Copies of this chain bind each other. A is one copy, B any other.
Amino acid sequence: MSSLVQPARPEPSARAKSNGGKSERVRRHVLQTIDAGLGPHDRLPTERELAEQLGVSRLTVQRVLDDLTTENRIYRIQGSGTFVRPTRIAKSMELTSFSEDMRSRRMAPGSLEISVTQEPAGANLAALLELSPGSPVVSIRRVRTADGAPICLERSQLPAELVPGLSAEDVSGSLYELLAERYGIQIDRADQTIRATVLDPDDASDLEVPAYSAAFEVDRLAVDHRGRPVEHAVSLYRADRYSYQLTVAVAKRHGTG
C-alpha cells in the first residue's frame, strides 16, 4: 500500500571544514570503497590496513568506523572484521521491547489473550527469517497491556528451531528477556517500519477502541549480533495511548564531502 520511505539519510547539512581533517578524508575513502564495488556483508579492509594505506593512525580509523557504525552503515565483529550493512537505513536508536518501554514509564507490562501456535513458513516470511519455505515457525499473538489496559496488539513469528518448547505461559512477559535467559539469544538490533493506519473492527475490538480508530502499525525484523533474523513482528498500537517522542539531531563531525 504505502511507498516505504526513510526519514533520514547520511547527507549532513552543508558544513564544509576548510582544514580538510584527516577523519573526513578517511570517511570519504571508506564510503567510496563501499559505494564502489562492495555489496552487503562484504568485508572492508582491516583497521590496520586502512590506517597504513591512508597514512593515519589506527585510532583515527577507529573513530571513523565508530561513527559509521553508529550510522548503521557498517558493523564490526571482533576477531573477524568490518562489514557493509545491507541497506543503509536511518540512524540507530535504542531498541525497545514493549516491556522495557512500559517499565520505563513506571507502568506494569502484561499480556492478554496469548496464543502460541506452530505452522510452516510461507514464502515471504521464510525469506525474511532466512529459512527454507515450509520450515516450522512459532507464531505468538498477544494483546499487550500497561497497568491492565490494552495498548498494543502484537503478532510475532520466530523460527521454531530457535525456541524449542516455547509455550503460551512463557510469553506473558518480555519475549526478549525470555530469548536472552532461556535460549541465549541476544537481540542486537531491529529494522522497523512505522506506519499510521486505522484499525479494522476485529483488531479494534481486541484493543477495546472504536472501529477505524487511529493506530501505529510497527513492522519489525529483529536480528541477533551476527545478523541472523530472530523475530518478525507486526504490532498495532493504540494512537490515543501511544506516541513516539524522540530527538533528532544533525550528524556530528562529518563534512559535506
What is the interface of chain A, defined by CB distance below 8 A to chain B? 1-15, 69-72, 89-96, 100-101, 104-105, 176, 180, 186-198, 212-216, 237, 239-252
Write the chain B residue with the least CB distance to A248: B95
Chain B hits for A69, CB < 8 A = 252
Chain B hits for A248, CB < 8 A = 92-96, 189-192
Does A247 contact B100, Cβ atoms closer than 8 Å?
A: no
Contact A246/B194 with A90-B94, A93-B91, A212-B212 known, Cβ cut-off 8 Å = yes
Does A93 contact B93, Cβ atoms closer than 8 Å?
A: yes
Chain B hits for A11, CB < 8 A = 100, 104
Query: How long is the Cα–Cα vector from A243 to B219 in the complex, in angstroms?
Result: 11
- Pick 8 A–B contacts, CB within 8 A, sort by A: A3-B241, A8-B94, A8-B104, A9-B94, A192-B247, A192-B248, A193-B246, A196-B214
Does A198 contact B195, Cβ atoms closer than 8 Å?
A: no
A63: shortest Cβ distance to chain B, in Å? Answer: 9
Most buried by B among A176, A196, A212: A196
Does A194 contact B5, Cβ atoms closer than 8 Å?
A: no
Chain B hits for A190, CB < 8 A = 247-249
Contact A2/B246 with A13-B186, A90-B94 known, Cβ cut-off 8 Å = no
Write the chain B residue with the least CB distance to A3: B241
Query: How long is the Cα–Cα vector from A2 to B213 in the complex, in angstroms?
Result: 13
Contact A187/B250 with A2-B243, A14-B180, A215-B196 known, Cβ cut-off 8 Å = yes
A188: shortest Cβ distance to chain B, in Å? Answer: 6
Query: How long is the Cα–Cα vector from A188 to B241 in the complex, in angstroms?
Result: 30
Chain B hits for A96, CB < 8 A = 7-9, 248
Chain B hits for A195, CB < 8 A = 214, 239, 243-244
Chain B hits for A194, CB < 8 A = 194, 243-246
